[in-house]
Structure 1
Amino acid sequence: MNARTYRRWSEPLRWTLLGVAVVVLVVFLLAQRQSVDVSYGRSPSSSSGVDEGTAGEPDRATVPSVAEMTALVAAAPVVRLPGSVAYWDEQRVRAAAGDGTRILVAPPGLDKDERDRLRDVENATIRVIGTEVSGGLYQATADRLPGWRAQFATGDVTDQLVTLITALRKEPAPTDRDELRWREPSDAELTAVTADLKSTGLHVAPGATLTGVPGTASRNAFPDGAWYVALPPQRFGDPLPRYGPALAGLFPGRPIVVLYGLWIEYHGPGATDFAELAGASFYGQYAGLLSRSDYPQRNVLNAYLNRVTDIRYAGLFERPLPYRPVDPLRVALPALPWLFAGCVAAFLLLSARSLRRPDGGPGIRRDGTPARLAGLTALAVEVSLLTDARSNPALTRGIVKLQAARSAWDEELPARHVRTLLDEATAELDDTARQVGIASYRPDNYLRGRLS
C-alpha cells in the first residue's frame, strides 16, 4: 500500500474511532445513575391510583344552603340529605351518643366549597360526607380490612361514629366490631354468575356501575386472565353473598376478582397472603379519597389492578412476570467499556504509525525537508518587516514558492518536486536578503544559525 492510499483511509478512520470512543464514554457515564431499586422488575402499570377531581366522577352532588341545613339539624338529631350512602347501627350509636349529639349526613362527590359549607353548620356535632366521618377537630377512619370492607361494601360507618363520639366526649375508645355477615350464594345466583363468566369473563349485576374491565391493567395484573364479578353496594344489615370462595372452589387456578360497591377482593392462586396485602396497601392509601368521592367501579378497579401489578413486580410472591422486551442499552452496557478501550487503542496505534512512517508518508522525513521548510518560512516572516518596493517582488515570489512547497508536501508529491520548489524559494529569499543588505538573512546563514 502506497503512502497516499494509506493516508486516504487511515486519517478518517482514526478520527472516526476517536469520535466513537467519545460517544461510548458519554453514553456509559449517563447510564451510571445512582439509585436504589428493591424490585426485580419495573412495573408497567400506567397509574397506581386515582386522583381527586374530575377523574371519572359523575356529576357532583349538591347540598342546601348553610341556613337551611342549620334549620334541619335543629329540628332533628339525624339529618340525611338526598343521595346519602352512609348507614350505621342506630342502637350502638344512640347508646354512645346520648342526648345532644346531632348528625348531618351528606352524599359523596361534593366539591371543596360544598364540603366547607357543611362544616359551617355549627349546630351539627358530626358530619358524614359519603362515608367520611368527622366532627370538631377529629376525623374517624377505619384502619383494618374488616372496617374498610364494611364501609365500602355496605356504607357501614358504625365503628367510625362510635369512635368519634367517644373521642368528643373524652371517653376510652371502644373495640371495633366486625359485624358484616355473609351467606353462601344460591344455586340460581351461582348459575347466572358462572354462565356470564364462562362466556365473557365478566358478570355485572343490576345496579353495578362497572362498564367493562380495563384491558391493559387486567393483562398486567393477571397475564393468564381473570374473571370479574361486579355487584352494587350491598344493603346495610343484609348478609353478603360469598361469591369469591364459591367460584374459586368451582374453578381452581383461576384468579377471581369480586366487587361489592367500591370494595374489591381477590380469590384464587396465592390469595391467602396476596389478597390481604393488595387490599391493605390499596385501601390504606386511598380509603380517605374513596370515602368522600363517587367514582365509578371501573376507575377504582383500574387503580386496584395497577396496585396488584406493582405488588407482583415487587417479587414478593414468586408469581410469574409478564414478558418484558429486551432493553438494548442494558444488554450492551457491560460491553461499552471494552468498546471504548478498543477505539482508543486503535486511534493511538494509527497515530503512532503515522508518526513513524518512512519517507513518503505524512510524518517527519529523514531528509530534513520539514526543518528546511519551517526555517525558510520563518525567514520570510522576519525579512518581510524590512523589505521595500525594490525587494518586495523577490520576497513575494519566495513566499509563493514556499506555499507551493507546503502544498506539495501535504499532498505527498514526490520529494524531488518539493526540494525543487524549496530551492527556488531559497534563491528568491537570498535575492531579497541581498537587496535588503543584511547578510544574516541570507538563507544559508539563517538556516545555519537556527540549526546551531
Structure 2
Amino acid sequence: MGRRTKEWVRWSLLGAAVVLLVVFLVSQREEIDVSYGRSPSSPDAVVEGEAGELSEATVPSVEAMTAMVDAEPVVRLPGSIARWDEQVVREAIGDSDIRILVAPPGLDKAERGRVRDVERATITIVGTKVSGGVYQATADAIPEWRAQFASGDVTALLVTMIHHAQERESPTVDDSFSWRQPSAAELDAVTADLRANGLHVAEGATLEGVPEAATATAFPDADALYVALPQQPFGQPVPRYGPALARAFPDRPIVVMYGSWIEYDGPGAADFAELVSAMFYSQFGTRLATYDYPQRNVLNAWLNRVTDVRYAGLFDRPLPYLPFDPLKVTMPALPWLFAVCVAGFLALSARSLRRPQAVSESRHYSRLAGLTALAIEVSGLSGERSDPPLTRGIGKLRAATEALESDLPSAQVRTLLDDAENELDETARLLGRSDYRPRNYLEGRLG
C-alpha cells in the first residue's frame, strides 16, 4: 500500500468514526411511540378540597386525644372506618405498649396535623391510612387493596406497623376478605335496575350518576353497566355480583363498586382488569385511604386508567405496524464500528509518526559517519594550532554516538553533531584546507 493510499485510508477512517459518533448521539434523542394515539382521559386533580374528598368529620384537641390514648390502648374517634382482626393484632402487640389512635377519613390538613401531634399514639390511622411516626404502611397487592378499600380491613397494614415499632420482621397476614354468591333476591334487585337504566345504586352508596365522557372513552364498543355499593361490613363475606351479571348481560362491561374498590367483569377482563387495578390503586391508594372521595370521583379516575390502557394497545388489539428500521437494527453495532475506525486511524497515525523519527535517525547516522571519516582524514594533517578544535570535535562525535545508542531525543543528537561540525570546520580553516570543511566534504555523501 503506497503512502498516499495509506493517508487516504487513515483520514477516511477518522471521517467514518466521526459520522458514526454523530449518528449514534442523534439517535439517542429518538422516542418510540407504539400507542394508538394520545389518550383522551381527563387529568386527575389532586388539589385538596376541590373534589369533595373532605368530610364534615372533625377531631378533638391534641390534649383531649392524648388523654384518651393514655386511658385506652385503642381509641376510635367518631366516623372512623378502619377495622381489623383484633385477635391477630393482639397477638402481634403481645406485651408491648402499643397505642392506636383511629380517626375518620376526609380530615383537612390541620385536623390531620392534630392527629399526628398525639405523641402518645404509637400508631395513627386516618381513614385506612396506617402510620407510625414518619413511616407509613401501604398495600402493594390486589388482595390487600381489595380488603382495605372494600371493607376497611387494615389488619395486614396494622401488623406491619406494629412489627416495625417492635423492630421485628413482619409476618405474612391473611386478610379476612372473602366472596360469596349473591342471593336470588339481591341479584334480582340489581338486574332490574340495570335493565331499566344501566345503573344500580344501593343504599349507603354515594354514586350520583356515571361520568358519561369517561365511560364513553373507556368502553366505546358497548354500554357499560354500573353497580355501586357502600363499604362492606368487616369480616363478612361480600356478594360477588360481577360474574353473575356478566352471564346475565353477555358482551356488556360490568363495573361494580364496593366502597372505593372497583371490580370489573365482562369483555377483556382477563387481559386488563388486574392491570388497571394495580395501576390505579398504586397511584391513588394513599389518597383514597386518607380522604373521603365520592364514588363518582373514584369511578371517573378509574375509567381514565381504563382509557389509558386501551390507548396503550391492549384489549386484544394488535400493536400498530412498525416498518423495518435499519438504523435501529444496526444501532447496537455502531459503538463497535466506531471503535474499529478509531483503532485503525490510530494505528496508521502511529506508523506515520514513527516514519519521520526513523528517517531522522538514519540521517543522524549518515552524518555521524561522514563527520567521523572527515575527522580521521584531518587528524593526519592536524598540527599544534588545529589540534584543539579537532580534539573537541572528536569528543562531540563520541557524545553523539553515545546519544544515538542510548536513544536520546533527536534534537539532542542534532545539537552534538552541529557542535562537532563546527569544530571540524574550524580545524579545516586553521589548516587552510577548504576541501576539508564539512560542508564541502559531506556534499553529495548524505543525499
One fold, TM greater than 0.5? yes
Match of 1:248, as an amino acid?
A
Q: Give the secondary structure class of the aligned counterpart of 1:306.
A: helix
What is the aligned partner in structure 2 of residue 247 from structure 1? 245
What displacement does 1:110 show? 1.1
**Is structure 2 residue 64 aligned with structure 1 residue 78?**
no
* Conserved? CA contact 2:211–2:296, under 8 Å: yes
* Conserved? CA contact 1:108–1:291, under 8 Å: yes
Residue pairs, 1:32-47, within 5 angstroms = 36-47=32-43
Match of 2:248, as an amino acid?
L
**Is structure 2 residue 231 aligned with structure 1 residue 233?**
yes
Give me the whole-angstrom Cα distance separating, in 1, the residues matched to 2:282 and 2:55. Answer: 26
Greater mean alpha carbon deviation, residues 259-268 or residues 33-42: 33-42
What displacement does 1:183 show? 0.8
What displacement does 1:148 show? 0.4
Give me the whole-angstrom Cα distance separating, in 2, the residues matched to 1:255 and 1:320. Answer: 21
Give me the whole-angstrom Cα distance separating, in 1, the residues matched to 2:317 and 2:182. Answer: 30
Q: Give the secondary structure class of the aligned counterpart of 1:134.
A: strand
Match of 2:85, as an amino acid?
D
Q: Give the secondary structure class of the aligned counterpart of 1:220.
A: helix
Give me the whole-angstrom Cα distance separating, in 1, the residues matched to 2:89 and 2:124. Answer: 14
Give me the whole-angstrom Cα distance separating, in 1, the residues matched to 2:232 and 2:70. Answer: 31
Give me the whole-angstrom Cα distance separating, in 2, the residues matched to 1:77 and 1:176. Answer: 22
What is the aligned partner in structure 2 of residue 440 from structure 1? none
Q: Give the secondary structure class of the aligned counterpart of 1:302.
A: helix
Q: Which among 200, 203, 208 is matched to residue 206 of structure 1?
A: 203
Deviations 1:376-401 (A, max 9, x none): xxxxxxxxxxxxxxxxxxxxxxxxxx
Deviations 1:155-197 (A, max 9, x none): 0000000011111111111113143111100111111100100
What is the aligned partner in structure 1 of residue 326 from structure 2? none
* Conserved? CA contact 2:45–2:51, under 8 Å: no
Cα separation, partners in 2 of 1:66 and 1:80, compared to 1, 3 Å: same
Structure 2 unaligned segments of length 5 or more: list them: 1-28, 320-447
Deviations 1:188-229 (A, max 9, x none): 111110010011000000000001000000111011210000
* Conserved? CA contact 2:127–2:291, under 8 Å: yes
**Is structure 2 residue 132 aligned with structure 1 residue 135?**
yes
Match of 2:89, as an amino acid?
V
Q: Which among 307, 314, 317 is matched to residue 316 of structure 1?
A: 314
* Conserved? CA contact 1:229–1:258, under 8 Å: yes
Cα separation, partners in 2 of 1:84 and 1:208, compared to 1, 3 Å: same
What is the aligned partner in structure 2 of residue 119 from structure 1? 116
**Is structure 2 residue 178 aligned with structure 1 residue 181?**
yes
Residue pairs, 1:380-391, within 5 angstroms = none
Residue pairs, 1:33-112, within 5 angstroms = 36-48=32-44, 50-99=46-95, 100-112=97-109
Give me the whole-angstrom Cα distance separating, in 2, the residues matched to 1:306 and 1:55. Answer: 16
* Conserved? CA contact 1:60–1:111, under 8 Å: no
What displacement does 1:35 show? 5.2
Give me the whole-angstrom Cα distance separating, in 1, the residues matched to 2:61 and 2:301. Answer: 35
Residue pairs, 1:271-420, within 5 angstroms = 271-319=269-317
* Conserved? CA contact 1:50–1:303, under 8 Å: no
What is the aligned partner in structure 2 of residue 383 from structure 1? none
Cα separation, partners in 2 of 1:65 and 1:48, compared to 1, 3 Å: closer
Deviations 1:18-77 (A, max 9, x none): xxxxxxxxxxxxxxx975434122111122465443212254421100000000000101
What displacement does 1:319 show? 4.6
What is the aligned partner in structure 2 of residue 151 from structure 1? 148
Match of 1:44, as an amino acid?
P
Give me the whole-angstrom Cα distance separating, in 2, the residues matched to 1:70 and 1:219. Answer: 50
Give me the whole-angstrom Cα distance separating, in 1, the residues matched to 2:50 and 2:42. Answer: 18
Q: Percent identity?
A: 68
Give me the whole-angstrom Cα distance separating, in 1, the residues matched to 2:318 and 2:246. Answer: 20
Aligned length: 289
Residue pairs, 1:404-443, within 5 angstroms = none
Give me the whole-angstrom Cα distance separating, in 2, the residues matched to 1:320 and 1:91. Answer: 51
Give me the whole-angstrom Cα distance separating, in 1, the residues matched to 2:318 and 2:46. Answer: 26
Give me the whole-angstrom Cα distance separating, in 2, the residues matched to 1:96 and 1:273. Answer: 38
* Conserved? CA contact 2:54–2:108, under 8 Å: no
Deviations 1:384-426 (A, max 9, x none): xxxxxxxxxxxxxxxxxxxxxxxxxxxxxxxxxxxxxxxxxxx
Structure 1 unaligned segments of length 5 or more: list them: 1-32, 322-452
* Conserved? CA contact 1:185–1:242, under 8 Å: yes
Give me the whole-angstrom Cα distance separating, in 2, the residues matched to 1:126 and 1:68. Answer: 17
